[in-house]
Chains A and B, each alone.
Chain A
Amino acid sequence: MSQDRAPKAVLGPEDVRRATTRMAHEIIERNQGLDGVVLVGIQTGGVWLAEALGAEINRIDADVVDDIPVGSIDASLYRDDIGLRPVSPGSVSNVTFEIDDAVIVLVDDVLYTGRTVRAALDALGDYGRPRAVQLAVLVDRGHRELPIRPDYVGKNLPTSTDESVSVTVDGVVIA
């Protein structure tokens, strides 16, 4: 079991910063600018990353007057495992901008089974009808159970299912 292994740091704070900067560039390039693009972090782990990406994008694209909108969404109430495990909303969704016709970049720290992203897509749909939704994750650890793939990846990290991956601004640790 995972408890027997010593935690292993796979990315340090500098690696996280560089990956964030690269993903910010990719988001601008892929969307040919930032017209109608908004960032939405998935509560709770995706929120700091969405904010960090937003700050990077604003720094890179400094000649654009308006900052890129950054929001957050809590997908707990849309999960498919309510009743199977403890699912409790950690925080309140914060979507203060128009979703209709926006290009949403959904942001999470770790992509694993894809079920959280599925729930977040359903949650977004209740706020409006986006023109497109893209997915940005800092770590893709594999083991998808749904047909979901990321558009922007900080680091592909092969893992086994009994490992746990923790991501913070200070780095990525496998335990």
Chain B
Amino acid sequence: MKRSLLSISELGSDGVQRILDLADTMAEVSRRPNPKVPALRGKTVCSVFFEDSTRTRLSFETAAKRLSADTMTFAVSQSSLSKGESLRDTIETIAAMGVDAFVIRHSSTGAPWLVDGWTKASVVNAGDGWHAHPTQALLDMYTVRTALNRPEGFDGLRVAIVGDIKHSRVARSTTAAFKAMGAHVTWVAPTTLMPPVVDEAVTDRLDDVIGTDGEGVDILYMLRMQNERMTEALVPNLREYTNRFGLTPARAARLAPHTLVMHPGPVNRGVEIAVDLSELPGAVINQQVTNGISVRMAVLYDLLSANPDPTSDIEITEAVAAARTEQP
């Protein structure tokens, strides 16, 4: 029975914890002089990206290679999609070549669920529309867990996610993951960039959530201003946005020393972060990128090692059951 990673809510808090524990093992592999293990020899991982990406695609490919899986990359611009081949035909064609996992990014919400229904391969959602980006959320959790040394969970931790919440799949997945870990999340955004339905605490004043007086947040998560999704004038201009919602030198000086500053990348320098990152002692943005590889190794291994989850009703074949009883 195959498994897929489509959203944090489907993974559940036990699943999040399982991936983070596994990521510790993968991080140790990544620290070695020869950061490669034979765990997924013979497996093939195909990345299918219908949207541009640098770090996510490279991160998944590096993760697959460190586990000795073979990788294929489907470049949309050079494909038969330009001849009118449908998404379903494309996926089924690649699947017929023998693929164990698809890593898919698509501009339409729900595309990974469709693909999951069309193929026997595992599917990893690497971002769908404004909806979800679960591996980003997992690497964010792993970064907080290692930076603050909180392996047991994030109870009592206060998080502010700042910026274009409305268009951000990162905000949605990362919020879900922080809540699954027990943290309290506040969304900070202008009203025009807030989703119509909100379950979180919200404010449009960034200055209310930062500070050294004990009221400040422990984690300041800055989102990227997504100019490519801005089809209408939702903020007056970027300078006005930076004045009210950017991490300016004045606000950086007010941050409590222990506050982590996070960003999913790529950073619009001078817009959401208007200070030199080297002057932000709490910035863990590069650690997020490094941890992304370990976390994606954990995700791929978790899905492809056919490790039946004992709490689920996944059928265990007779061979597996026999091998289990034989183990000392």
A residues at B contact (CB < 8 Å)? 2, 74, 76-78, 81-89, 91-93, 110, 112, 122-123, 126-127, 141, 161-162, 164-165
A interface footprint on B24-41 (CB within 8 Å = 1, 0 otherwise): 110111001110111110
Contact of A78 among B38, B301, B327 (CB under 8 A): B38
Query: Which residue from chain B places its CB closest to the CB of A122 in the assembled complex?
Result: B38
Query: Which residue from chain A places its CB closest to the CB of B321 in the assembled complex?
Result: A85
Instruction: Determine whether the beta carbon of A126 is less than 8 Å from that of B37.
Output: yes
Contact of B305 among A78, A83, A93, A165 (CB under 8 A): A83
Minimal beta-carbon separation of A48 from chain B (angstroms): 16
Query: Which residue from chain A places its CB closest to the CB of B27 in the assembled complex?
Result: A92
Known: A82-B40, A123-B37. 9 other contacts (CB 8 A): A76-B25, A76-B39, A77-B37, A82-B39, A82-B305, A92-B25, A126-B34, A127-B32, A165-B328
Q: How far is it, in angstroms, between the C-alpha of A82 and the C-alpha of B39 when the chains are bound?
A: 7
Q: How far is it, in angstroms, between the C-alpha of A81 and the C-alpha of B323 when the chains are bound?
A: 9
Q: How far is it, in angstroms, between the C-alpha of A123 and the C-alpha of B29 when the chains are bound?
A: 10
Question: Does B86 belong to the interface (CB within 8 Å)?
Answer: no
Question: Does B320 belong to the interface (CB within 8 Å)?
Answer: yes
Question: Does B326 belong to the interface (CB within 8 Å)?
Answer: yes
Question: Does B256 belong to the interface (CB within 8 Å)?
Answer: no
Minimal beta-carbon separation of A114 from chain B (angstroms): 11
* Interface-central residue, B27, B67, B326, by most chain A CB under 10 Å: B326
Question: Does B83 belong to the interface (CB within 8 Å)?
Answer: no
Instruction: Determine whether the beta carbon of B320 is less than 8 Å from that of A77.
Output: no
Contact-residue bracket for chain B: 20 to 34
Q: Which of B269-328 contact A (CB under 8 A)?
A: 301, 304-308, 310, 319-320, 323-328
Minimal beta-carbon separation of B167 from chain A (angstroms): 37
Instruction: Determine whether the beta carbon of B324 is less than 8 Å from that of A161.
Output: no
A85-B327 in contact given A92-B24, A92-B25, A126-B32 (Cβ < 8 Å): yes
Q: How far is it, in angstroms, between the C-alpha of A76 and the C-alpha of B67 when the chains are bound?
A: 12
| Chain B neighbourhood of A77, CB < 8 A | 25, 29, 37-39, 67, 301
Q: List 29 A-B contacts (CB under 8 A).
A: A76-B25, A76-B39, A77-B25, A77-B29, A77-B39, A78-B39, A82-B39, A82-B40, A83-B304, A83-B305, A84-B306, A84-B323, A86-B305, A86-B308, A87-B305, A88-B22, A88-B305, A91-B25, A92-B24, A92-B27, A92-B28, A93-B25, A112-B328, A123-B37, A126-B34, A126-B37, A127-B33, A141-B328, A164-B328
| Chain B neighbourhood of A122, CB < 8 A | 38
Query: Which residue from chain A places its CB closest to the CB of B100 in the assembled complex?
Result: A83
Contact of B28 among A83, A88, A93, A110 (CB under 8 A): A93
Minimal beta-carbon separation of B323 from chain A (angstroms): 4
Instruction: Determine whether the beta carbon of B22 is less than 8 Å from that of A89.
Output: yes
Minimal beta-carbon separation of A7 from chain B (angstroms): 15
Query: Which residue from chain B places its CB closest to the CB of A111 in the assembled complex?
Result: B328
Contact of A86 among B28, B36, B307, B328 (CB under 8 A): B307
Q: How far is it, in angstroms, between the C-alpha of A76 and the C-alpha of B34 when the chains are bound?
A: 17
A interface footprint on B113-138 (CB within 8 Å = 1, 0 otherwise): 00000000000000000000000000
- Nearest 10 Cβ contacts at the A-B interface: A85-B323, A77-B39, A77-B37, A89-B25, A112-B328, A86-B307, A83-B306, A92-B28, A110-B328, A82-B305
